[in-house]
């Protein structure tokens, strides 16, 4: 097991529902309805407006991951990250620099990724610079550029698990797709609760045949329902401040401890930015994991140099090849320094 990972596959059980562990999707026949489409659409519009208000920035982040396995083994991993993003109408350019401070936690000690509307460029501190399509097996989740305002909706930044699921691509847009699927089945409610709203999602665990698991067929202690509640603070621009996901058995009792995300925000001018994220979860191979991410914002809504998003300006040595893998077979289209 890669000790770095919270594994977004696991966090998907919290955020986008554990596809491989408990099965997920909106159940085919929901009989009740929660939030109206108008209520949910109104809240999402306000959340999107908060996203749009923070259109560019540069931040440094320190991530500490502490795990204890079921065998009692304890690990502590520290990561350092730098992120730059610049939103323009119709697209957002992002730069993501990742460094694992414990080099024994290979295979990646450092990577640099730039994401634009034309390509995603990846360099792992050696070898060629790869130009990749939006989704590619070469990209691990921890290498994907960060959407800072999605924290609290999709969870921590990095992961060691490579999958094709939306958990690999942490963005509010992916979360909205998940939300829409459950809203269509009446699983979503948005009650007001000071200082804002509670975005609540309740959905059943499905069988291998896509049907809700019935109590009479469930073993004692088995999870039948997942409940996720996200606190939305309207005073900070409709951002998520706390998320708790509970797993309920057929008696309505919690199975294990809830998985939680707590996000602290601070105002920078007229917009709020995340300054700390704390998460707690359990996993079948990890008795418990605690993760803390602290942000230092270098700039907010200030002009970003175009060179930040130019892969030809990566600090790679001379004669580094640029390998275009957006279409197969891949081909070398240039060499840095020539």
The pair phi, psi for residue 216, each rounded to 5°, is: -70, -15
CA distance 284 to 304: 43
Q: Which phi-psi region, left, alpha or beta, contains residue 4 (left: φ > 0; alpha: ψ -120 to 50)?
A: alpha
Burial 204-230 (b: 16+ CB within 10 A, else e): bbbeeeeebbeeeeeeeeebbbbbbbb
pLDDT of 115 above 90:
no
Burial 67-104 (b: 16+ CB within 10 A, else e): bebeeeeebebebebbbbbbbeeeebbbbbbbbbeeee
pLDDT the model gives residue 72: 73
The first and second tokens of residue 37, run together, are 């489409």
pLDDT the model gives residue 285: 55
Nearest one of 185, 150, 154, 172 to 35, comparing CA atoms: 185
Residues 118, 138: contact at Cβ < 8 Å? no
Band (pLDDT 50/70/90 cuts) for residue 107 is very low
- DSSP conformation class of 160: S
Find the helix packing angle between 37-53 and 172-183, rounded to 10°.
180
All structural domains of the chain with their residue ranges = 8-187+257-335
Which helix (H) or strand (E) element contains residue 241?
Answer: strand 239-248
The first and second tokens of residue 268, run together, are 């920078």
CA Rg value for the chain: 21
- The predicted model scores a pTM of 0.79
- Judge if the upstream peptide bond of residue 149 is cis by omega within 30 degrees of 0: no
- DSSP conformation class of 331: E
Q: Which residue has the higher pLDDT, 296 or 117?
A: 296
pLDDT of 16 above 90:
no
CA distance 124 to 103: 13
- DSSP conformation class of 257: P
Minimum mean pLDDT range among 39-53, 83-97, 104-118, 160-174: 160-174
pLDDT the model gives residue 257: 85
| C-alpha torsion angle, residues 63, 160, 107, 110 (rounded to 10) | -40
Mean pLDDT of all residues in the chain? 78
pLDDT of 218 above 90:
no
The first and second tokens of residue 215, run together, are 């109590």
pLDDT, one tens digit per residue, over 33-79 is 456 888 899 999 999 888 888 889 999 998 888 877 767 777 788 88
pLDDT the model gives residue 109: 66
pLDDT of 222 above 90:
no
The first and second tokens of residue 74, run together, are 């304890």
């Amino acid at each position: 097991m890669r000790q770095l990972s919270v594994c977004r596959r696991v966090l998907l059980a919290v955020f986008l529902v554990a596809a491989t562990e408990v099965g997920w999707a909106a159940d085919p026949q929901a009989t009740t309805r929660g939030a109206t489409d108008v209520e949910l659409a109104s809240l999402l519009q306000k959340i999107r407006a908060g996203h749009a208000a923070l259109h560019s920035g540069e931040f440094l982040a320190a991530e500490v991951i502490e795990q204890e396995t079921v065998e009692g083994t304890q690990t502590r991993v520290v990561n350092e990250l730098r992120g730059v993003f610049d939103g323009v109408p119709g697209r957002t350019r992002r730069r993501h620099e990742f460094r694992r401070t414990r080099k024994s936690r290979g295979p990646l000690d450092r990577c640099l990724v730039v994401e634009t509307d034309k390509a995603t460029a990846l360099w792992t501190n050696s070898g060629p610079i790869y130009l990749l399509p939006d989704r590619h097996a070469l990209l691990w989740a921890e290498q994907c550029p960060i959407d800072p305002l999605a924290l609290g909706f999709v969870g921590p930044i990095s992961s060691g698990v490579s999958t094709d699921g939306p958990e690999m691509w942490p963005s509010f847009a992916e979360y909205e797709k998940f939300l829409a699927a459950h809203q269509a089945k009446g699983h979503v409610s948005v009650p007001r609760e000071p200082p804002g709203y509670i975005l609540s999602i309740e959905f059943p665990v499905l069988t291998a045949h896509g049907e809700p698991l019935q109590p009479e067929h469930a073993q004692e202690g088995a999870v039948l329902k997942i409940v996720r509640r996200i606190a939305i603070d309207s005073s900070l621009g409709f951002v998520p401040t706390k998320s708790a996901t509970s797993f309920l058995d057929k008696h309505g009792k919690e199975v294990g401890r809830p998985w939680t995300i707590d996000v602290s925000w601070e105002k920078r001018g007229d917009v709020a930015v995340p300054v700390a994220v704390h998460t707690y979860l359990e996993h079948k191979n990890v008795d418990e994991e605690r993760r803390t991410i602290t942000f230092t914002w270098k700039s907010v809504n200030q002009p970003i140099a175009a060179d930040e998003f130019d892969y030809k300006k990566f600090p790679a040595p001379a004669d580094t090849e640029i390998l275009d893998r957006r279409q197969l077979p891949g081909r070398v289209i240039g060499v840095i320094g020539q």
